[in-house]
Structure 1
Amino acid sequence: MKDYKKDFVLFFNTIKKLNIPKRAILLILSIMIMSNVLSLAFPLFFGNIINGIVSKSFYTIKMNLLYMFLCFVVSTVLDYKNQKMIIKLSYSVELNIKEELFNSILEMPYSRVYKIDKGRLVNNIESDSTIFSSILFDNMNLVVQTISMIISLIFMVYISPILTLVTIVTFPITFMIYIYSGRMIKSKEIEYTKMHDSFMSFLYESLSGLKSIKIFKVENKWNEMFRKNVMDINEKNIEKFNVQLVTQVIIGVVTFLINNLNIILAIYLIFNGRLSLGMMTAFNEYSDRFKGVLLLLSKLNSKIQQVSVSLRRVGEIVDSESIGKIENVNDKERYNKIEKIEIKNLSHTTQSSIEVFKDTNINFYKNNIYLIKGASGSGKTSLLNILSKLIDEYTGEILINGIELKCYSEENLRNKVSYVTQDHYMFSISIRENISLYRDVPLEDIENICKRLNLHELIINLPNQYDTVINDEGLNFSGGQIQRVCFARAIVSNPDVYLFDEITSAIDQKNIEDVLRIIEEISANAIVLLATHENFKFNVPIIECSVMNKRIETNELNLLQNV
């Protein structure tokens, strides 16, 4: 029972978290209740019409038909208005939750995002988030239906207390059945969501690696894997559906037996003059409404079991602590240029449990280019990830102007440190926006750097020049062009530290020379770390650092310190 209590608490706590206008909720609830109360009068009017037919009272028939018509008109208008309000509010709620989820993912430390299955993140935003809006309106409907059930019960007791007692017996039986089935459905739901997450990751990887799939001619194998994933997911859905189906059959049998017992009792009461035919008809209508709400309440447990899976998954994202938001850097240091980076006794183990650094010590100074070299997997990229604060799982100290890296907020650090990773990515936005990434960068600065990188002529010949949207008009840049755009993105804001990871792997020799000359220029007032396997020829002295044996060794002969 503890699990059920936790699920119910989670269910209602989620409602409290929703930022929804209370007036809109109250208005919708009020209209729903009014409409429901009006509809509850129909069985009574209909029962009176039957009694009027039996007694041949045309006045009774006429007046009750008029009452039914008036109630129908008012109820229909209220339902129409209410549905429009519900649709508008549900879209608003869903948008707010998706926005909160997406923002939470963006604010989450990269080291944590990296560990989460990408398919799960997509499901969190697209599928799990819709649970919030469905919960809200399910609960609103539940409140209205509960009121309807109470009113129906009052009418039932008024018509026949004995028949009412027999009807109520249905509730504890159906409730216990749904408790048991809810537990089974929850376990199936957990398995289903995990499988669906894996499937979404498979689709993401397949589209990202489509070129490799075609090059190595493994389309058939990928089709087989796709089919197996879909079949496994469908099979798990069928298992869940079968549990629900068996539950419905059992509930149907119980309800059938209770209904037949009610009919026998009703016939007995009519024969003994204690119940009229019209009131029997009215009782059956109220009884159906009453049992329908009881069924809804019984199903609530099963629904919560399914919903709780999504709520927990969403909560893990929204409630996660975002590392790096609290800054412990004083105002003076916050705006000072970075002159020196000190690494003291740095140790770091990757997610694959590979120790790449152990008690490493090295200093990086302003006005220098550091060529970071080493074998694949030696730790070059890990070093840049740590210095950019994408990874914060390390021991030792990293001091920026004497202040620990972890004390800097990500916002402050991003203004001072620019990082071009091996993953050269362009978004489906304009070229200008791809370079500025919505920072306050004048178009003139963007044009100047693009001229230096031999991109300007290409761009101005496009339909909308710098406002041309990537991939929107079938526009695809080459690998080398994308690398140069990403390079322009990094240097256009003039940060204090530049971190470059294999930034010339797809660039031709002529353009490499242009990139190197720009790196020489920016190093005159910054710290530049360039991880590469290439033997570049610079026109200025450089400092070559070798990453090997969990250490970083520096060629002291080339060291220039301008501090």
Structure 2
Amino acid sequence: MHSIHLIKPYFTQRRNLIFIGIVCLMIVDVLQLFIPRVVKWAVDDLTAGQVDMAGLGRYAAMIVGIAAAMTVLRFFWRRLLIGTSRVVEEGLRNRLFSHIQTLSAPFFDQRSTGDLMAHATNDINNVRMAVGMGMVALTDAMFLGSAAIGFMAYIDLRLTIAALLPMPVIVVVTRVVGRKMHRLYTRVQATFSDMTEMVRESFAGIRTVKAYNREQTELARMQDVSNAYITENLKLVRITGSFFPLMVFFTNLSLTIVVFYGGRLAIFERITAGDFVAFISYLNMLMWPMMAMGWLTNLIQRGSASLDRINSILSTEPEIRDAADARPLSRVRGEIGFEQVNFSYPQASAPAVENIELKVPAGDTLGIIGPQGSGKTTLLYLLTRRYDVSVGGIRIDGHDIRTLKLGDLRGQIAHVPQEPYLFSGTIAENITFGRSVDHDRLVEAARRASLYETICEFPKGFETPVGEKGVVLSGGQKQRIVLARALLRDAPVLLLDDPIGQVDTRTAADIISVIRELAREKTVIIASHRIPAVSFADRIIVLDSGRITESGTHGELMEHNGYYARAELLQRYE
């Protein structure tokens, strides 16, 4: 378990509570061991005819008293030991979630959401079980097992040695099976991640599935993934399914030896009838520690495999992070410069942008036009350091953005993405995005995004739930909510990725009017394939295959009669 360091701090922090819990558990085990002694005394007295009803009542009261004490102590050890596992679960899940949020875009390009969900649910649960019930099973296997053997030896040492003859076989089997379990649990968890992602993807796209009448196709995909998961589990069951019966077999083999050999000792009165009954009771108690060894192996291997999977994510360093000497950044003027910028996506055959040399004065508006795949969105990603440039550099107010604190840099930029994303909450919650703002500011942001009148048409206004990913809203409404979110932030730099791509002509005109007003007070960069979105910009560049092929104002580009002029002519008559 090379990933055990992930949970060590929780044991250190709660070591006193864990110690108390284990002591309570051990006391319960000791009290449990005294019950067969009481039974022995009662049987011996009955055999000798030396006990009356009052005596039997005393023995019964002793057993009830021991059971009552065990009940109270069981509450405390469960509260402390199982409670510790819940603390580990909470801390590990929060740490995993927090770390995933720090990881860079390339990580999420390669990992599926379903895989991450499986880590945060099933893997965390396996670790919790290994910690909580693992401590219980380990304590019982060691303490209760040793104590039971001690009481058995006290009755008769030779009978104890005979009863323990199958034990070495159990140790060898546990060691061999444990390694196989670890490998198989790792593969089971991997297939569970695949299944989780397939289900998530299918349900998220359920409207598309229904629109194309592909329910049976999705069901077939689900059956394939589910069968793979079942296949891996059956491979595991072949191991665990033989392991536990073997444990029971060797335990019953010990019982057979005791009945045969111990019965002879009782017949020849080398041990009393009470000793014989007590010895069998102790042997039955020993069955649980022996089975606990198997259960513990199961829990540890499952938890270890899951902990290794979690560690693989927690040990992943974000590709984009603050430099060791990163400088803080206060409010900027908004001057932006691209200096011979080149960038290629991983495994891409050609650069996404190439030799971009560009300066945007503070307070100016830059328009970016070009066909799909020309690199418009990539330039915006590079400016916010969603990805880092491969060659060259980007400056804001003369500072290389890679030398600045990442949080400070992004705090100066409001970004309206091409694909608006809404969370399952109300309209107000999606606009404020966790910020505490007064209602007047909220209304003003909605008005500037040409959204306020639309919101007023909903029965609940700003408190209208938007559903998963804004399912109850149109594409244009979602686009304007995201625009209002950016306007509410009031950052000195505003990036707009196709801001009118999903709205009608009238709403587009309203949004463009808002952007033109913002252009007087912010540095605005607009990427779009629609000419009206950028025609008013101080400077417009045309991208083609990641290179700047045209640059100038609207009038200059129209005179140039290149891509821009042709696009304007085509869109004019659409």
TM-score for the superposition, normalised by structure 2: 0.88
1:395 corresponds to 2:388: no
Match of 1:217, SS? Answer: coil
Q: Distance in 2 between matches of 1:412 and 1:63?
A: 76
Which residue of the other structure, out of 431, 438, 455, is the alignment partner of 1:435?
A: 431
| Distance 1:13-1:126 versus aligned 2 partners, 3 A rule | closer
Match of 2:418, SS? Answer: coil
Q: Distance in 2 between matches of 1:374 and 1:290?
A: 76
Residue identity opposite 1:241 in structure 2: V
CA RMSD between the two structures: 2.8
2:68 aligns with 73
TM-aligned CA deviation for residue 538 of structure 1 = 5.5
| Distance 1:372-1:537 versus aligned 2 partners, 3 A rule | closer
- Range 129-138 or range 418-427, more displaced: 129-138
Residue identity opposite 2:523 in structure 1: I
TM-aligned CA deviation for residue 92 of structure 1 = 4.2
Alignment of 1:212-361 (within 5 A): 212-322=208-318, 323-325=320-322, 328-331=325-328, 333-352=329-348, 354-361=350-357
1:151 aligns with 147
1:24 aligns with 17
1:448-492 deviation per Cα after TM superposition (whole angstroms, max 9, x unaligned): 1312333213323434432333339x9811111010000111122
1:115 corresponds to 2:116: no
Which residue of the other structure, out of 15, 20, 33, is the alignment partner of 1:40?
A: 33
| Distance 1:458-1:556 versus aligned 2 partners, 3 A rule | closer
Q: Distance in 2 between matches of 1:528 and 1:190?
A: 49
TM-score for the superposition, normalised by structure 1: 0.89
TM-aligned CA deviation for residue 148 of structure 1 = 1.7
2:7 aligns with 14
Residue identity opposite 1:267 in structure 2: G
Q: Distance in 1 between matches of 2:246 and 2:276?
A: 26
Residue identity opposite 2:121 in structure 1: E
Residue identity opposite 1:129 in structure 2: I
TM-aligned CA deviation for residue 239 of structure 1 = 2.5
1:544 corresponds to 2:540: yes
TM-aligned CA deviation for residue 435 of structure 1 = 0.8
Q: Distance in 1 between matches of 2:545 and 2:388?
A: 21
Q: Distance in 1 between matches of 2:423 and 2:38?
A: 64
2:94 aligns with 99
1:55 corresponds to 2:52: no
Q: Distance in 1 between matches of 2:217 and 2:449?
A: 42
Q: Distance in 2 between matches of 1:229 and 1:139?
A: 31
Q: Is the 8 A contact 1:347 1:394 kept in 2?
A: yes
Q: Is the 8 A contact 2:84 2:132 kept in 1?
A: no
Match of 1:77, SS? Answer: helix
2:480 aligns with 484
1:3 aligns with none
Match of 1:376, SS? Answer: coil
1:263-282 deviation per Cα after TM superposition (whole angstroms, max 9, x unaligned): 22212322333212211221
Q: Is the 8 A contact 2:7 2:88 kept in 1?
A: no
| Distance 1:96-1:469 versus aligned 2 partners, 3 A rule | farther
Gaps of 5+ in 2: 557-574
In the alignment of these two chains, the number of paired residues is 551
TM-aligned CA deviation for residue 382 of structure 1 = 2.1
| Distance 1:186-1:21 versus aligned 2 partners, 3 A rule | closer
Q: Is the 8 A contact 2:493 2:524 kept in 1?
A: yes
1:404 corresponds to 2:400: yes
TM-aligned CA deviation for residue 74 of structure 1 = 1.6
TM-aligned CA deviation for residue 188 of structure 1 = 2.4
1:4 aligns with none
Which residue of the other structure, out of 454, 467, 470, is the alignment partner of 1:471?
A: 467
Q: Distance in 2 between matches of 1:500 and 1:533?
A: 12
Q: Is the 8 A contact 1:20 1:93 kept in 2?
A: no
| Distance 1:167-1:526 versus aligned 2 partners, 3 A rule | farther
TM-aligned CA deviation for residue 410 of structure 1 = 2.9
TM-aligned CA deviation for residue 559 of structure 1 = 11
Q: Distance in 1 between matches of 2:91 and 2:538?
A: 51
TM-aligned CA deviation for residue 554 of structure 1 = 4.8
TM-aligned CA deviation for residue 393 of structure 1 = 6.3
1:116-168 deviation per Cα after TM superposition (whole angstroms, max 9, x unaligned): 12111111112111233222212431353122222212211111111222333
1:137 aligns with 132
Gaps of 5+ in 1: 1-6
| Distance 1:353-1:237 versus aligned 2 partners, 3 A rule | farther
Residue identity opposite 1:324 in structure 2: R
Q: Is the 8 A contact 1:185 1:243 kept in 2?
A: yes
| Distance 1:328-1:553 versus aligned 2 partners, 3 A rule | farther
| Distance 1:13-1:270 versus aligned 2 partners, 3 A rule | farther
| Distance 1:522-1:124 versus aligned 2 partners, 3 A rule | same
Residue identity opposite 1:540 in structure 2: F
| Distance 1:13-1:301 versus aligned 2 partners, 3 A rule | farther
| Distance 1:214-1:135 versus aligned 2 partners, 3 A rule | same
